[in-house]
Structure 1
């Protein structure tokens, strides 16, 4: 793996965050959803306005992963009231973790998970949780391999399509 640098994203980097958010969501899920549902999700959850609000939220943190001066992926970590579901104050949620297709398989996703673990420990959290689509066996296998275990399910709405995510937790 080449030298990876992870930095917190600021509001000045909103354009780059918006671009990578839309690109990675489309590339990962575009072929599995109708264009209408995909666009509705992007408009509701990945708009510049929404991302700016989330960047300014004290319990939501975004991080870019950089390699050789290029952004290769990003993560979004939530605590407290920033979590998409209330799993308690001792939890850190990984709401998003995406690596651009051309950089997948190089260990960058694992590095972002390790970074999330460090953030959780720094913040005094005892668990990390995330939701992963039940129809994404590659991601499920990745999370299981590093120690996440299924603790339940929740609905992840993509436009008009309610999809089932596995809720997985890693104890620190």
Structure 2
């Protein structure tokens, strides 16, 4: 079986990014929310116009993960928009990173994470932020292994449902450190 391909998404990928974004969110978190809250959230967070705007924004980047012609995951990164007093315009944010459940746990997430981190650091080291659900302990452990620490909390709204979200941050790291560490982590996860 060929290794899944990770590539930068372009404007022609808007439809597929919108679809895989909504599908992976539902697969991961859909069971937590009333149907009306989930539908309302998906209609806003994964609207095609929003995806097109993200793809057209030069300050943001998206990636697609493909295996045998099927899109199995994606990531989105850009300027940090998290509600924390230490966030500056120079800060970056890993906004979304998802893989279909069947593809999790084999090191592919570390590869996708490495791509996004390299892009976030490409113009020089900068602080990176991300938000993670307070009950997603596996993701929290993954981010901790990559140097992220909890810096705060905020309310994350899915319709009328409010989740506790942790704000994690990592100080500036050079590109070579990111790629070397990611390569070592991939080796250890394989």
TM-score (norm. length: structure 1): 0.89
- The corresponding residue for 1:122 is 122
Give the alignment's Cα RMSD to 1 decimal: 1.8
Q: Which has the higher strand share?
A: 1
Shift of 1:68: 4.2
- The corresponding residue for 2:45 is 45
Shift of 1:89: 3.0
- The corresponding residue for 1:77 is 77
Q: 1:36 is paired with a residue of what secondary structure?
A: helix
Q: 1:106 is paired with a residue of what secondary structure?
A: coil
CA distance in 2, matches of 1:120, 1:53: 19
Name structure 2 gaps, 5 residues minimum: 174-190
CA distance in 2, matches of 1:160, 1:125: 38
User: Do the aligned partners of 2:82 and 2:131 also contact (CA within 8 Å) in 1?
Assistant: no
Q: Which has the larger radius of gyration?
A: 2
Shift of 1:167: 0.6
User: Do the aligned partners of 2:153 and 2:164 also contact (CA within 8 Å) in 1?
Assistant: yes
CA distance in 1, matches of 2:2, 2:95: 25
CA distance in 2, matches of 1:126, 1:114: 15
CA distance in 1, matches of 2:42, 2:3: 31
Name structure 1 gaps, 5 residues minimum: none
User: Do the aligned partners of 1:120 and 1:127 also contact (CA within 8 Å) in 2?
Assistant: no
Number of residues of Structure 1 aligned to a counterpart in Structure 2: 169
Q: 2:143 is paired with a residue of what secondary structure?
A: helix
TM-score (norm. length: structure 2): 0.81
Matches within 5 A, 1:8-87: 8-79=8-79, 83-85=80-82, 87=87
